[in-house]
Amino acid sequence: MVANTQQKRLSIGIVGGGIGGVAFAVALSRAPDLDVQLFEAAPQFSEIGAGVSFGPNAVRAIQLLGLERSYRRIADASPAPYEDVWFEWRRWHDDAYLTASLAPGCGQSSVHRADFLDAIVANLPEGIAHFGKRCVEVQQNGDGATARFDDGTSFAADILIGYDGIKSAVREHVLSPAQYGDLGPFWSGTYAYRGMIPTTQLEAALEERGADRRLALVPQMYLGPDRHILTFPVKQSELINVVAVITDRSTANPRLPQGEAWVTAVTQQEMLGVFEGWGVASQAILACIPEPTRWALHELPELPFYHRDRVLIVGDAAHAMVPHQGAGAGQALEDAYVLASLLTDQACDRHNAQQVLAAFEAVRHARTCQVQRTSHEAGDLYEYSAPGIGDDEAKISSELETRFDWLWNHDPRDDVLAARGHLGWESPPSLATA
């Protein structure tokens, strides 16, 4: 049993060491009067998946968290003169250009997940992270909360923050299945075939089939009925991240076959069959992925709340979503900034920490639920299935030009100010890394 450190203003246990959890821990660690401990199930920090995309709101959160230098060292951007392009959108069967979504000053800002995690881990002080700690149960009383791990150890703190992902154990404490029913992850009906292609190889393959090699370097999304394919550069543009998506819309509540793994190695033949009849660029891309993996994309329902007394869930533990807006990591980083800003404030202590967690939920819940909902709806739009739009490409193009503005233009400093208002904190905000 590890007891909390009473001389500190507040002790905080963080369950989960992904991008959001580590960024949050780094921000908290800058406050010398906080005791911060992070618990990760894996034997070391690690990320699965390949590329992760950040919209302007996520880049803003990275800057506010004081992690911009770490990020810029590894971030990819669209080449000039396409630096503001988030995606160019094209028709599935002939690669014809439809329109582009522009994110001024940001464009398609992306990183390799593992590289980004390594970059932010470098900012984490020694002694905060603990590995091989898979949380299996959370308990709490009026004084604090305790996380119990599968190795038989436990940790008690004034508050516990669950950054433990879509399969969160902390979520089951906040929203007991016995009381609230099953609020765990469900299959979205969508499979994503994924692969990474050396950029020079894809350029040559496109050229060989008579397609423009520029399609390798500028982020592209090819849209079609029940399917879409997206590409963007990562690893300093050495690799192209490819995601080829198909959605089952034959039933309202699709079910993953019993016993099927979320991630499966499949044949190239299966993937090519799914996109039969697609244009030359799509065929060139898929032909460069000899050993694709197929991901069954899961999401969470919109949860009624994220907080129970001294325990809070954030990031994917609270609002895991399908990746169609490239928004999941951005929401985890916004959460990290807003919560760290409140907890590092001198006005927060172990006596009012519950109220601080409640204020955080009050200002974040509606936004994160809206991002979940619109991420799902974006997939419908890309796949010619949006209500009232369908396969009308003029309407699709018009919608895509402005659809993401509300998401990208958000400033999490406004959330901090709103939360301070909930708490009645009148003094100027003492933002964690302003």
pTM of the model as a whole: 0.95
Among the listed residues 282, 264, 357, 364, the one whose alpha carbon sits nearest the alpha carbon of residue 57: 364
Question: Tens digits of per-residue pLDDT, 173-221?
Answer: 999 999 999 999 999 999 999 999 999 999 999 999 999 999 999 999 9
Look up residue 174 and give its amino acid: V
CATH for 186-299?
3.30.9.30
10-79+111-184+300-423: in CATH 3.20.20.70: no
Question: Tens digits of per-residue pLDDT, 370-385?
Answer: 999 999 999 999 999 9
| Structure confidence at residue 360 (pLDDT) | 98
**Under a CB-based contact definition with an 8 Å cutoff, are residues 245 and 385 in contact?**
no
Model confidence at 237, in pLDDT bands (50, 70, 90)?
confident
CB neighbourhood size of 269 (10 A): 7
| Structure confidence at residue 46 (pLDDT) | 83
Catalytic residues: 194
Q: Can you tell me the distance from the alpha carbon of 354 to that of 391, in angstroms, rounded to the nearest whole number?
A: 48
Burial class for 254, CB neighbours closer than 10 Å (0-12, 13-18, 19+): middle
Both tokens assigned to 35 = 């005791």
Q: Can you tell me the distance from the alpha carbon of 4 to that of 16, in angstroms, rounded to the nearest whole number?
A: 18
Q: Is the N-terminal amide bond of 79 cis, ω within 30° of 0?
A: no
Mean pLDDT of the chain: 94
pLDDT above 80 for 392: yes
Q: Which of these ranges, 39-48, 163-172, 352-361, 375-384, has the smallest mean pLDDT?
A: 39-48
Which residues of the chain are in CATH 3.30.9.30 domains? 186-299
Which residues of the chain are in CATH 3.50.50.60 domains? 10-79+111-184+300-423
Question: Tens digits of per-residue pLDDT, 142-161?
Answer: 899 999 999 999 999 999 99
Among the listed residues 210, 165, 202, 167, the one whose alpha carbon sits nearest the alpha carbon of residue 19: 165
